[in-house]
Amino acid sequence: MLNVKICQKARLSRDPRFDGKFFTAVKTTKIYCRTICPVYPPKEENVLYFSSAVECANAGFRPCLRCRPDSAPNSPAWKGVNATLDRAICLIDSGALQQSSLPKLAERLGISDRYLRQLFDKHLGMSPKAYALYQQCLFAKQLLHQTQLPITQVALASGFSSIRRFNDCFQSQLQLTPSSLRKSGGNKQNTLQLKLYYRPPFNWPYMQNLLKARAIKGLEWCEKNSYGRNFTWLDTQGSFTATHVNGKNRFDVTIGLDDVKHLKGIVNNIKRVLDLNVDMQAVEHDLQQSFVTDFQLNTGIRLPGIWDMFEAGIRAILGQQISVNAAKNLVETLVVNLGNKLDNNKVTRYLFPTPEAIANNELDFFKMPGSRKQTLRNLAQHFITSDTPNDPSQWLKLKGIGPWTVEYAQLRGLSDPDIFLAGDLGVKKAMEQLKTQFKADFSPEQVSPWRSYLTFQLWSQL
């Protein structure tokens, strides 16, 4: 339950650290806003507070055109309430109900579709399909505000199969029409710019240094204020560059695609790679409880992700028991030899190799033991034949893959928040250096579900 007094103070302060944690709805205008909205604050007796944009819409409020609630950092009110619900929401946000049916989603979650509907009704007051539809409309609104894509392309990118269906849903869900938000006619280029916000603190210099040290030439690029890469997403190819805007709590992201139909899932994955959705204040509060009172955390340390689990697994195998730079050189060799080369007149660009490319190659360009090459092929073959290739628990059955490899892939390929790399040499060194800074009864399990953040915090202390 939201504390009204705390919400009132946060609303009046316009503190960006509360952005997305709750929304303010004004009874007189029937509009809901972010806490950082620049308009003159309404009187308290005219205000209602809601945990999410979905609840605001359910209560009959429409989004503000000034502060654009669709752009707020994600802060699900149900986070931690129910693991199954949390996973269902992640899958729906990635387009699961656009690509499949509700019974199929329930089966994937290991529950009945009736129970899934009950979870959504209990915690969100709406059905899974209604939630998915509202999220599609919010994403479409963001594209209409921030890009010049034609309305028909926005409809497609948001998961609507027809412009008529898009117009009807947009108006019924948001009490707005797409054309009222779009003053220009747009263009036909599939290059677009989006603003992706986060709540501070965010230690960008640390993340930038880590990404730059591991950036693969031709696949990734990393400058002082930006990170970008080429990628594949289902049957779509593209690239993105995310530029950190100092003092604005956001990244300006440029995305180039050969098809916009999977844009929503791609944007969500960019957010995961940059770890934009986490509430760092909550994480660091929990971490601090394990240390003595005067110990200072390196604040804002987030989880820099890898684009997908396959790439994370291959990079983990190549990084076993060698330095970061040596592993980087091996990955670059793999990308140059087996990655698809992209057409670009200025620089040579590659996509990360496919499982088929690795599984069907002898890997003779590598100067390494044959057993290590076979491990790479084993993982690639697993991704070709398995129905659940992204389930890392199955990887341990593959020869040459141990717990560290699996956990590292989970840490960076899934951005799992609760992975503690106890067997990592850097973690062991940091634990030894900081042993006097931990409380006497400390154990890593005490900071669950944030053990991944503890892992990166320890690395940052070296």
Asked, for residue 91, whether it belongs to a domain, the answer is yes
pLDDT at 453: 96
Q: How far apart are CA 75 and CA 150, in angstroms?
A: 30
Q: Same structural domain for residues 21 and 113?
A: no
pLDDT at 357: 97
pLDDT tens digits for range 302-341: 999 999 999 999 999 999 989 999 999 999 999 999 999 9
Asked, for residue 450, whether it belongs to a domain, the answer is no
Q: Same structural domain for residues 316 and 402?
A: yes
For residues 117 and 222, is the Cβ–Cβ distance under 8 A?
Answer: no
Q: Same structural domain for residues 55 and 98?
A: no
Domain count, the chain: 3
| DSSP letter (8 states) at residue 63 | E
| Burial 445-456, CB ≥16 within 10 A → b, else e | ebbeebbbbbbb
Asked, for residue 430, whether it belongs to a domain, the answer is no
Question: What is the Cβ-side half-sphere exposure of residue 363, based on CA atoms within 13 angstroms?
Answer: 27
pLDDT at 183: 57
Q: Which of 261, 243, 238, 268 is nearest to 253 (CA)?
A: 243
Helix, coil or strand: residue 53: helix
Q: Which residues contact 216 (CB under 8 A, 6 or more apart)?
A: 328, 331, 332, 335
| Burial 176-209, CB ≥16 within 10 A → b, else e | bebeebbeeebeeebebebebbbbbbbbbebbbe
Average pLDDT, integer, range 345-361: 91
| DSSP letter (8 states) at residue 17 | G
Asked, for residue 189, whether it belongs to a domain, the answer is no
Please give the share of the chain, as a percent, with pLDDT higher than 70: 95
| Single-letter amino acid, residue 251 | F
**Cβ of 422: how many Cβ atoms within 10 Å?**
14
Asked, for residue 405, whether it belongs to a domain, the answer is yes
| DSSP letter (8 states) at residue 22 | B
CATH number reported for the structural domain that contains residue 326 in this entry: 1.10.340.30
The residues pairing with 49 across neighbouring beta strands, listed in sequence order, are 24
Q: Same structural domain for residues 104 and 37?
A: no
Asked, for residue 27, whether it belongs to a domain, the answer is yes
Q: How far apart are CA 226 and CA 349, in angstroms?
A: 17
Helix, coil or strand: residue 429: helix
Asked, for residue 224, whether it belongs to a domain, the answer is no
Q: Please identify, among 158, 181, 204, the residue that sits at the C-terminal boundary of a domain.
A: 181
pLDDT tens digits for range 115-172: 999 988 887 788 999 999 988 998 898 888 888 888 998 998 888 988 999 999 998 8
Q: In 78-234, which residue ranges form alpha helices assigned H by DSSP?
A: 83-93, 96-99, 102-109, 113-124, 128-146, 151-157, 163-174, 178-181, 204-214
pLDDT tens digits for range 51-101: 888 889 889 999 998 888 888 886 544 444 466 887 888 888 878 888 789
- pLDDT averaged over the chain? 90
pLDDT tens digits for range 390-400: 888 899 999 99
Q: Please identify, among 377, 399, 414, the residue that sits at the C-terminal boundary of a domain.
A: 414
- Per the model's pLDDT, the better-predicted residue between 328 and 258 turns out to be 328
Helix, coil or strand: residue 317: helix
- Per the model's pLDDT, the better-predicted residue between 293 and 305 turns out to be 305
Q: Please identify, among 161, 181, 201, the residue that sits at the C-terminal boundary of a domain.
A: 181
| DSSP letter (8 states) at residue 414 | I
CATH number reported for the structural domain that contains residue 38 in this entry: 3.40.10.10
Helix, coil or strand: residue 192: strand
List the domain range (segments joined by +) for residue 10: 4-69
Q: Same structural domain for residues 95 and 38?
A: no
CATH number reported for the structural domain that contains residue 140 in this entry: 1.10.10.60
Examine the pLDDT at 205 and tell me if it is beyond 50.
Answer: yes
Of 164-178, 191-205, 431-445, the poorest mean pLDDT is in 164-178
Of 6-20, 78-92, 241-255, the poorest mean pLDDT is in 78-92
**Cβ of 51: how many Cβ atoms within 10 Å?**
18
Examine the pLDDT at 186 and tell me if it is beyond 60.
Answer: no
- Per the model's pLDDT, the better-predicted residue between 374 and 5 turns out to be 374
pLDDT at 94: 77
Q: How far apart are CA 50 and CA 93, in angstroms?
A: 20
Phi/psi region, residue 269 (left: phi>0; alpha: psi -120 to 50; beta: rest), is alpha
Note if the pTM is more than 0.95: no
Q: Same structural domain for residues 22 and 117?
A: no
Q: How far apart are CA 417 and CA 447, in angstroms?
A: 11
Q: Which residues contact 59 (CB under 8 A, 6 or more apart)?
A: 25, 48, 50
Q: Same structural domain for residues 166 and 142?
A: yes
Of 63-77, 208-222, 410-424, the poorest mean pLDDT is in 63-77
Q: Which residues contact 17 (CB under 8 A, 6 or more apart)?
A: 199, 200, 281
Q: In 360-413, which residue ranges form alpha helices assigned H by DSSP?
A: 370-385, 403-409
DSSP sequence for 223-277:
ETTEEEEEEEETTEEEEEEEEEETTTTEEEEEEEES-GGGHHHHHHHHHHHHT-S
Examine the pLDDT at 189 and tell me if it is beyond 70.
Answer: no
Q: How far apart are CA 319 and CA 183, in angstroms?
A: 51
Tokens 């931690």, located at residue: 80
What's the token pair of residue 291? 């240390």
pLDDT at 207: 97
Asked, for residue 12, whether it belongs to a domain, the answer is yes
The torsion angle over the Cα atoms of residues 407, 408, 409 and 410, rounded to 10 degrees, is 50
| Single-letter amino acid, residue 205 | P
Examine the pLDDT at 38 and tell me if it is beyond 90.
Answer: no
At residue 354, φ and ψ (nearest 5 deg) are -80, 160
